[in-house]
Amino acid sequence: RRTKIVATLGPASDRPGVLERMIAAGVDVVRLNFSHGSADDHRRRLVEVREIATRLGRSVAALGDLQGPKIRIARFRDGAVELEQGQAFVLDVALDGEAGDAGRVGCDYKALADDVAPGDRLLLDDGRLVVDVTRVAGSEIHTTVVQGGRLSNNKGINKQGGGLSAPALTDKDKADLATAIDIGVDYLAVSFPRSAADMREARALLGSGGAEIGLVAKLERAEAVADDATLDGIIEASEAVMVARGDLGVEIGDEALIGTQKRIIKHARSHNRAVITATQMMESMIESPLPTRAEVFDVANAVLDATDAVMLSAETAAGDFPVETIEAMARVCLGAERERIAQESGHRIHEGFSRIDETIALSAMYAANHLAGVAAIACMTATGYTPLIASRIRSGLPIVGLAHNPVAQRRMALYRGVISLPFDTSEMTAGELNDRALERLVAQGIAEPGDHVILTRGDHMNAHGGT
């Protein structure tokens, strides 16, 4: 399977034996969701993941996910209310946080009254309820309910079209970022970035202690995808991006989401960045042992778009069938990857290149895809960069990243089509390197005697940029 699977950890994966079965079923990246649980919870889970992965001989990356400025209503005296279409409803940022009723509720984001104006549309609880702003008076935002229903405590608020001024990194995020460095995650996801500046701020906060952590931009604000320049800026400031379809779909509308998903994946790949497709991919499997046909097609569509990874959220964190969900997702990915469209590439075929390692990686993939008898592409790599570039080209062949650095090994676990293997060259002579690399591939069952393997390496091993 070329497409990687990201699985969120939580109470469901904490059940005895479940985490090991999840990793054995094919999890490539575990997601630690800092919106839930304590630092000790995340540390304990990651220690267990690393122990199981080592025992099973797998490279499994860890993705820490910052909560970001999730803008929420406060709480109701009775826990929930029913809103009727056409009724007046007030969001009051000065109201006591526990005093909500059928006519008004507080809000944890105090600047909301400054960010909205009459005529704006607000979406509550991921768009399940819709209200239109009629006037703003001091701390009170007066609205009319357009689409009613049950509204319970702490549900999210989005503004259609975007435009909320909340910073991407909250005080909680900064504390969680320090935890992420301390426990040793491989990637860190930043929620709700509006521009490349938000990603650069996160990079500065990581500092030297988090220098080896890759940043993932979660694209969920309308402003982030409003134009190609903003989108490309965010992509270039990150190691990977996530198509976070929940909040993004609420802000830009479901009808715009499918085209935006394809645009994000295409832009990420053209900028040599990894891309994760996320949210509700197999939502029905929270309570069902089988996915719906629509979910099967959704996952397959993302695979055919050439996403690097597909992500599971509540399905594996809190669902009844976490292992079965991973098995189902793996089957669907494999099925989609057998289609010819998933193995043909015209990626950057008419472009010139300025980097030697990039040119070599793409040349190797071109040769592999056109020469009969090639079993694999093997890249000796210090950082994982050459396998990343190679994986931007569609192929049916495995790309093997041979790395001495365990951080590079785990980082490659996110890249489409890349098998990450430990390969310590410190005791090898230059003349031995090729033979030892080929022996490693044969031992793994990736290649057999008589196969062609295309090998990329530098004259100086463990040195960045010498391919």
Note if 279 is an active site residue. yes
Closest of 296, 222, 303, 229 to residue 260, by C-alpha: 222
- Using DSSP, state whether 152 is helix, strand or coil: strand
- Verify whether residue 200 is a known catalytic residue: no
Q: Are 416 and 3 in contact (CB under 8 A)?
A: yes
Q: Which residues contact 60 (CB under 8 A, 6 or more apart)?
A: 23, 27, 28, 29, 30, 49, 50, 52, 53, 410, 413
- Name beta bridge partners: 80: 152
Residue type, 43: R
- Nearest alpha-carbon partner for 158 in 119, 116, 189, 199: 116
Exposure string over 209-233, b if 16+ CB within 10 A, otherwise e: ebebbbbbbbbbbbbbbeeeebbeb
The residue from 44, 72, 121, 266 that is catalytic is 72
- Report the alpha-carbon distance of residue 329 to residue 128 in Å, rounded: 27
Q: Select which of 2, 4, 31, 273 is catalytic.
A: 31
Q: How many CB atoms lie within 10 A of CB 289?
A: 12
416 CB burial (10 A radius; 0-12, 13-18, 19+): buried
Q: How far apart are CA 236 and CA 239, in angstroms?
A: 8
Name the catalytic one among 4, 104, 194, 218.
218
Amino acid at the residue 278:
A
Which of the residues are catalytic? 31, 72, 218, 279
